[in-house]
Amino acid sequence: MAGSNCTPVTEFTLTGFTEDLVTQLTLFLMFLLIYLLTILGNLGVITLIKASPLLRSPVYYFLGNLAFVDLCSSTIIIPKVLADFLSEKKGIAYSGCMAQVFIYDLFGMTECFLLAMMAYDRYMAICHPLVYPLVMSPKRCLQLVTGSYLVGLTNGVGQTIGMSSLSFCSSNVLNLFFCDISPLISLSTSNTALSHLLLRTSASVFGMSSCLVVLVSYVAIISAILSIQSAEGKRKAFSTCTSHLTTVSIFYGTALFMYLKPSSDSSREDKWVVVLYTMVTPMLNPLIYSLRNKEVKEAWRRL
């Protein structure tokens, strides 16, 4: 535990990426472009799904919620990063840091379960098409989406409570561009054994359970596709999953690498892995689903 003469940290300093002005300007423009594309892409998907009668199936209901989650998770990080590029003092208040931890953990875990629900939806559509309309009814879809948000809320509240019990005295420098749990735990002067246990347990129980749903669903999907006799039938069946599979691979691969790897100080390479799943993935999701989905492209054309 921290000593009685500990002066609590009221603000954290974010190291960002570089001190070179030219590189900072380049990164500012790059991240600004990423954020604009993220806003336009995800808002466009949400608007299209609401406006188009063609996109009334469960998969697009899940996709609309995924776009909303991506929009929120990006907004809690990227504007602050852009502001830091224009500011000499790259800092964030303790309360703002805790708010960032809570909101990002809420929407990050919600996205995990939304992707799992989308995998389950594809499993039902391909492996059990006759009962698909009954099982994936509007009421059931609402329950699955609500459950995803509740799991995300549970994760956000639990992680934030765990973080608020830690003491920060000796240093306030975070070697990252936003308040993430792992570097915050490493920075604490308290006994962090319980915090590490909570983080690993949350990542294992929530993250791995949603990942397991995806894996089991796609094992069954691939098995069903391979049993189809015609090559054209196999191609059509698999084409309905490629967009989701691409998104899942990027999101789960980078996120599980960061949160389940051995504890260590964040390296420059780690920062770019974090950029991939906090900034690039939310930008790519609407592009992946728009460019590879015939129904979405047809809906855009009609709109």
CATH number for position 63: 1.20.1070.10
Asked whether residue 218 is domain-assigned, the answer is yes
Q: Which domain holds residue 79?
A: 11-302
Asked whether residue 6 is domain-assigned, the answer is no
Asked whether residue 149 is domain-assigned, the answer is yes
228 within 8 A of 237, measured Cβ to Cβ? yes
Asked whether residue 5 is domain-assigned, the answer is no
Residue whose C-alpha is closest to residue 148's, from 103, 99, 107, 202: 107
Asked whether residue 64 is domain-assigned, the answer is yes
pLDDT tens, residue by residue, 104-130: 999 989 999 999 999 999 899 888 989
- 39: Cβ–Cβ under 8 A, 6 or more apart, which residues? 71, 74
Q: Considering its fold, how many domains does the chain have in total?
A: 1
Q: How far is CA 131 from CA 54, 62, 123, in A?
A: 21, 19, 12
Position 265 scores a pLDDT of 46
Residue whose C-alpha is closest to residue 289's, from 252, 237, 238, 244: 244
Ranges in the chain, pLDDT < 50: 1-3, 264-266
- 210: Cβ–Cβ under 8 A, 6 or more apart, which residues? 112, 113, 115, 116
156 within 8 A of 106, measured Cβ to Cβ? yes
Asked whether residue 199 is domain-assigned, the answer is yes
Torsion of CA 21, 22, 23, 25, to 10 degrees: 80
CA 210 to chain centre: 13
Distance CA 145, CA 147 (A): 5
Distance CA 29, CA 82 (A): 9
Position 2 scores a pLDDT of 46
Position 195 scores a pLDDT of 74
Asked whether residue 2 is domain-assigned, the answer is no
